[in-house]
Structure 1
Amino acid sequence: MRFSQSIAPALLFLSGVAQAASSWGFDEGRISVVAKKGGAGVKEKINARTPLSTPVSLGSTDTLKIALTAKDNGQGKRPHQAFLVLKEQDSGLEAPYPLTVKESGQAVVSISHKDLPVQLLHASKPLKASVVIGSFGSAKGLNAPVFDVKLETDPNVPLPAYEKPLRYGKKDEIHHIFKADPKSPPKVISLFFAAAVLATVPVLFVSWVFLGANINHLSKAIGAAPLSHVTFFGSIVAMEFVFFLYYTSWNLFQTLPVIGAVGLVTVLSGTKALGEVQSRRLAGER
């Protein structure tokens, strides 16, 4: 059984949009509530003009039976579709129950608690019952409220659990909580690696002596390209200083732009400074 928000408009569309003299209705309508244990039950007549003034009680073990004769312009006839629709008053949700219809228009349907959706079982007010009849052609369809159904539940038997379905809509604002900034390693480890780096400085100077570094070329280099050599050396020192700031206080978003700027200066100045050194090497100076 399909559970829909409203089935009546779809069925009435089958009757056509044009106003016509003929219309659908029903006659010989009657309802009966039959108890499972064979009690006296309830029997009432229904019509499409006036709904019953008193709700019909349907117990947890009872069966509600509706019988009627569908008619087109007063003639018994089988419509394309005929339904008994139960509607929950608060939410407007509807459950359609198709009538079994003969060629003569005689129709019948039976409903019990087990045929009802869980949402209707939890209804706090009586359900609205309507007869909806529609068919192809020019005959006007019918959507007539006929009676109310009051559900009587067994207090010893709990109702089936029901959770409202998830609906897409506005949700509460989400406040992101970021993790705390990572802490620096222990000072002992930091001092150890700092000492290891500083120990390479004497190794560098000793290597220059063994490799024959000529300190006298410093004046020539500064004289030939002073801006390039000074800027290149200064950019290397600046890069080391940036790493120091990143280690002590800066975060990654502060460090990356500065590294990019200093790195660009290093590339441009280093190209000219090392080009000047290469020109002296090619000239045979050692």
Structure 2
Amino acid sequence: MHFSQPITSALLLVAAGLAQAASSWSFDEGSLLITAKKGSDTVKEKLNAKSPLSKPIALGSTDTLKVTFTAKDNGKGKRPHQAFVILKEQDSGLEAPFPLTLKENGKAVVQIPQKEIPVNLLLSDKPLKASIVIASFGSAMGFNAPAFDVEITTDPNVAPPQYEKPVRYGKKPEIHHTFRADPQSPPKVVSLIFALAVVATVPALFIGWLVLGANVNHLTKAIGAAPLSHATFFGSIVAMEFVFFMYYTSWNLFQVLPVIGVVSVVTILSGTKALGEVQSRRLAGER
């Protein structure tokens, strides 16, 4: 039976496509090594990609688990994009991945001391399931299969590790705030000293007016020209001082601010007219 050249080429292309689609990752030359703290090898086993080890491997508190193998893509040694040894706790399903160091020829190695295994896995009552995961870009199927079991043994002379649950968002106990006490007024003696200092400035004010040549005779002219403006302006100044006094003695800030706002408006409106009247007399040449 003979095939024409176009049919033969098509069959070859289909066969090549099937071969490429059927390629997958695996490993060979796998080994497992348990190294004690002093450097002596206690356990050495060969790993098989098709079947896991039949017996669990004991990992002591000072031991280090070393896994080596050659990653292969369709039977050829090659560096994959990622390769992990994953330890899994049987009851909770929690996993801890340990990445392998990879070379271009596919050689992979990882060392896992017991102290680097998470606490929640160390406290497991059952052996940990160890799987090997190999995957990469491209069409080749990844590899994920159980390889061996690890039985954690702890030092009886050392307290077992304690697992602390991570902080989660959720309902928390009610917080009761303790506010600071209200600020207290200074001692009366200090207040009296400053009050006397303020009162002492009043004679100094009148002396300054006399030295500068203040003309008291203009008081009657000012009140006669704009009695309401001058009286309101002077009264607003006294009212503002009264507000400060009340704030010092009993009022709080929320009581003071509205009153200050009203008094300030009155001061501005009356002061504009009162001071305008004084300016008009000064422009007229009165001193």
TM over 0.5: yes
Would you say the 8 A contact 2:85–2:130 is kept in 1? Answer: yes
Compute the RMSD of aligned alpha carbons.
4.3
C-alpha displacement of 1:156? 3.4
Partner in structure 1 of residue 8 of structure 2: none
Instruction: Report the 3-state secondary structure (helix = DSSP H, G, I; strand = E; otherwise coil) of the residue aligned with 2:118.
Output: helix
C-alpha displacement of 1:96? 1.9
Instruction: Report the 3-state secondary structure (helix = DSSP H, G, I; strand = E; otherwise coil) of the residue aligned with 2:279.
Output: helix
- Which amino acid in 1 is paired with 2:194? F
Query: Unpaired segments of 5 or more residues in structure 2?
Result: 1-19
Partner in structure 2 of residue 15 of structure 1: none
Could you tell me how far apart the structure 2 residues matched to 1:30 and 1:265 are? Answer: 95
Instruction: Report the 3-state secondary structure (helix = DSSP H, G, I; strand = E; otherwise coil) of the residue aligned with 1:20.
Output: helix
Would you say the 8 A contact 1:57–1:151 is kept in 2? Answer: yes
Partner in structure 2 of residue 10 of structure 1: none
Partner in structure 2 of residue 234 of structure 1: 235
Would you say the 8 A contact 2:35–2:43 is kept in 1? Answer: yes
C-alpha displacement of 1:188? 2.7
Partner in structure 1 of residue 14 of structure 2: none
Partner in structure 2 of residue 248 of structure 1: 249
Partner in structure 2 of residue 123 of structure 1: 122
C-alpha displacement of 1:249? 1.5
Could you tell me how far apart the structure 1 residues matched to 2:67 and 2:209 are? Answer: 108
Over 3 Å counting, the alpha-carbon distance change for 1:229 and 1:134 in structure 2 is same
Over 3 Å counting, the alpha-carbon distance change for 1:228 and 1:132 in structure 2 is same
The residue correspondences of 1:1-286 to structure 2 (distance < 5 A) are: 20-26=21-27, 29=30, 31=32, 33=34, 41=43, 43=45, 46-48=48-50, 50-52=51-53, 54-62=55-63, 64-66=65-67, 68=69, 70-73=71-74, 75-81=75-81, 83-89=83-89, 90=92, 92-98=94-100, 103=105, 107=107, 109=109, 111=111, 113=113, 117=116, 119=118, 123-125=122-124, 126-156=127-157, 177-201=178-202, 211=213, 213-214=215-216, 217-285=218-286
Could you tell me how far apart the structure 2 residues matched to 1:279 and 1:80 are? Answer: 96
Task: Report percent identity of matched pairs.
Answer: 57
- Which amino acid in 2 is paired with 1:124? L
Could you tell me how far apart the structure 2 residues matched to 1:212 and 1:187 are? Answer: 37
C-alpha displacement of 1:54? 4.4
Could you tell me how far apart the structure 2 residues matched to 1:144 and 1:95 are? Answer: 14
TM-score, with length taken from structure 1 = 0.67
How many residue pairs match? The answer is 261
C-alpha displacement of 1:186? 1.9
Would you say the 8 A contact 1:63–1:110 is kept in 2? Answer: no
- Which amino acid in 2 is paired with 1:228? S
Could you tell me how far apart the structure 2 residues matched to 1:285 and 1:71 are? Answer: 111
Could you tell me how far apart the structure 2 residues matched to 1:45 and 1:206 are? Answer: 108
- Which amino acid in 2 is paired with 1:77? G
Over 3 Å counting, the alpha-carbon distance change for 1:175 and 1:260 in structure 2 is farther
**Which of the pair has the greater relative contact order for Cα pairs under 8 Å at 6+ separation?**
1
Any idea what the Cα deviations from partners look like across 1:206-249, whole Å, max 9, x if unmatched? 7767856445x545433322331122011111111111011101
Over 3 Å counting, the alpha-carbon distance change for 1:163 and 1:131 in structure 2 is same
Over 3 Å counting, the alpha-carbon distance change for 1:31 and 1:183 in structure 2 is closer
- Which amino acid in 2 is paired with 1:266? T
C-alpha displacement of 1:170? 7.2
- Which amino acid in 1 is paired with 2:245? F
Over 3 Å counting, the alpha-carbon distance change for 1:229 and 1:61 in structure 2 is closer
Over 3 Å counting, the alpha-carbon distance change for 1:34 and 1:60 in structure 2 is same
Instruction: Report the 3-state secondary structure (helix = DSSP H, G, I; strand = E; otherwise coil) of the residue aligned with 2:246.
Output: helix
Could you tell me how far apart the structure 2 residues matched to 1:229 and 1:218 are? Answer: 10
Over 3 Å counting, the alpha-carbon distance change for 1:61 and 1:278 in structure 2 is closer
C-alpha displacement of 1:29? 5.0
Any idea what the Cα deviations from partners look like across 1:48-81, whole Å, max 9, x if unmatched? 4x545643212245454545554434x2433425
- Which amino acid in 2 is paired with 1:80? P
Instruction: Report the 3-state secondary structure (helix = DSSP H, G, I; strand = E; otherwise coil) of the residue aligned with 1:86.
Output: strand
* Structure with the largest fraction of helix: 2
Over 3 Å counting, the alpha-carbon distance change for 1:278 and 1:122 in structure 2 is same
Could you tell me how far apart the structure 2 residues matched to 1:108 and 1:212 are? Answer: 101
Could you tell me how far apart the structure 1 residues matched to 2:153 and 2:113 are? Answer: 9
